[in-house]
């Protein structure tokens, strides 16, 4: 992968965001991200295929058929194959998988993979109804008004009961602090303008079930975001065609797509079994362990998800994931730097774009292109991992990348 580009993650928190003023449409984000990558790929002439990851544009902005926007990005993409893929919040990851499969099947040497979502088109309570489509919608009538915050609040409640509330809430607060501090180093992040001097105290605001959920407050949640990300997926021949040296690319050495039954509730609310399965298979394909990883981009749609993903990956025993965060092990200079541009809570969560954004962030880190967000990549740790989760642990894309 190479030639990654992110638009701004747009929404509340950005100084330029005003819900009463007209905002860019979905075609704006597709065009900006697509053109940003094409410039690095040497133009549309070098691209064989396009794929768009998107979750719910047909409801958020009443626009479907997104694959046909590729020629809108550039005239040179007219009549080239392109399609849209969907897997809830893992739609961006599925776009990457689709591109990988085309390259591995020798049907393309250069694929432009793009993820996009525009969600600030409706009020939050209506957006919750749309996003509930990432779960089994038959449960909507019995679920929380804010459906997915309710689901992960239930997970948090089960986690508190099993492992203790006080330390867990402290870990959630420190995750929020880490996410915002990392986002402050990335100019495209939604929390880039956040200057609050006491992030931990803010994040420790007691949850209020009368207005939101029983166990999570709004700072435990990723924000409603508009944005797009794009990256090139290339064969060795594709790198030559695009004029990109190997040192400017990252090698994909392992990946996995795992799916669970959307109609079934989790067997154990304190565990993410599909995440654990996908990550294990991807790392087995790559022939590595977690100790070989220099950085991770994980799907922190909620703070409790971050804690459970760290445990699912094997960095901590059950109930101990919060200790990693509190102790600074996941900070940018810690044992395993995680979400170096803020992740979903700090950078933002334009649902269909998130998986691609994770890949772009890792490409930037492993090639030294992360700017103010750059971390040190140790000589003995040349690998990175992304975890993109759709729904409540139902569709998971795990990808292992290697510095070339």
Strands ordered across the beta sheet of 383-390: 250-259, 395-403, 383-390, 293-297
Q: Are 177 and 200 in contact (CB under 8 A)?
A: yes
Strand 227-234 with 110-117, pairing: antiparallel
Per-residue model confidence (pLDDT) at position 142: 86
CA–CA gap between residue 193 and residue 180 (Å, rounded): 9
- CA 393, 365, 234, 345 torsion: positive or negative? positive
Question: Architecture of 136-221+250-403 per CATH?
Answer: 3-Layer(aba) Sandwich (3.40)
- Of the candidates 313, 310, 290, 314, the one whose C-alpha atom is nearest the C-alpha of residue 383 is 290
Q: Which residues contact 294 (CB under 8 A, 6 or more apart)?
A: 337, 365, 366, 375, 377, 378, 381, 382, 383, 384, 403
Per-residue model confidence (pLDDT) at position 143: 85
Helix, strand, coil percent content, the chain, rounded in steps of 5? 45, 20, 40
- The boundaries of every CATH 3.40.47.10 domain in the chain are 2-121+225-248, 136-221+250-403
Task: For residue 399, list its beta bridge partners.
Answer: 255, 386
With vertex at residue 275, the alpha carbon angle to CA 271 and CA 279, rounded to the nearest 5 degrees, is: 130
CA–CA gap between residue 90 and residue 115 (Å, rounded): 10
pLDDT tens for the chain, residues 1 to 404: 999 999 999 999 999 999 999 999 999 999 999 999 999 999 999 999 999 999 999 999 999 999 999 999 999 999 999 999 999 999 999 999 999 999 999 999 999 999 999 999 999 889 999 999 999 999 998 889 999 999 999 999 999 999 999 999 999 999 999 999 999 999 999 999 999 999 999 999 999 999 999 999 999 999 999 999 999 999 999 999 999 999 999 999 999 999 999 999 999 999 999 999 999 999 999 999 999 999 999 999 999 999 999 999 999 999 999 999 999 999 999 999 999 999 999 999 999 999 999 999 999 999 999 999 999 999 999 999 999 999 999 999 999 999 99
2: phi then psi, degrees, rounded to nearest 5: -160, 175
CA–CA gap between residue 183 and residue 225 (Å, rounded): 14
The third-level CATH classification (topology) of the domain covering 2-121+225-248 is Peroxisomal Thiolase; Chain A, domain 1 (3.40.47)
């Amino acid at each position: 992968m190479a030639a990654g580009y992110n638009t701004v993650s747009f929404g509340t928190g950005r100084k330029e965001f005003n819900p009463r003023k007209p905002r860019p449409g979905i075609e704006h984000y597709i065009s900006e991200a697509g053109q940003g990558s094409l410039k690095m790929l040497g133009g549309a002439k070098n691209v064989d295929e396009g794929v768009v990851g998107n979750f719910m544009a047909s409801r958020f902005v009443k626009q479907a058929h997104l694959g046909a926007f590729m020629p809108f990005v550039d005239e040179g993409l007219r009549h080239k194959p392109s399609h849209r893929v969907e897997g809830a919040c893992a739609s961006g990851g599925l776009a990457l998988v689709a591109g990988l499969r085309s390259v591995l099947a020798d049907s393309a040497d250069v694929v432009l993979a793009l993820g996009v979502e525009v969600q600030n088109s409706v009020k939050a309570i209506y957006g919750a109804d749309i996003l509930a489509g990432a779960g089994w919608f038959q449960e909507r009538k019995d679920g929380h008004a804010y459906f997915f915050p309710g689901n992960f609040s239930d997970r948090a409640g089960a986690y508190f009961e099993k492992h203790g509330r006080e330390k867990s809430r402290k870990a959630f607060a420190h995750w929020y602090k880490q996410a915002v501090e990392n986002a402050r180093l990335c100019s495209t992040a939604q929390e880039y303008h956040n200057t609050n001097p006491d992030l931990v105290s803010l994040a420790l605001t007691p949850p209020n079930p009368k207005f939101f959920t029983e166990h999570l407050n709004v700072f435990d949640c990723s924000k409603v975001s508009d944005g797009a990300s794009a990256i090139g997926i290339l064969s060795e021949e594709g790198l030559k065609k695009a004029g990109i040296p190997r040192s400017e690319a990252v090698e994909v050495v392992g990946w996995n797509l795992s799916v669970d039954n959307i109609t079934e509730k989790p067997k154990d609310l304190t565990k993410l079994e599909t995440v654990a399965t996908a990550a294990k298979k991807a790392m087995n394909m790559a022939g590595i362990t977690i100790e070989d990883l220099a950085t991770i981009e994980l799907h922190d749609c909620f703070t409790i998800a971050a804690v459970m993903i760290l445990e699912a990956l094997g960095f901590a025993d059950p109930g101990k994931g919060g200790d990693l965060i509190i102790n600074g092990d996941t900070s940018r200079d810690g044992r395993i730097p995680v979400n170096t541009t803020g992740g979903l809570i700090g950078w933002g969560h334009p649902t269909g774009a998130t998986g691609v954004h994770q890949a772009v962030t890792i490409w930037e880190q492993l090639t030294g292109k992360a700017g103010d967000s750059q971390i040190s990549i140790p000589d003995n740790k040349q690998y990175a991992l992304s975890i993109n989760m759709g729904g409540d642990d139902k569709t998971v894309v795990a990808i292992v990348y290697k510095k070339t």
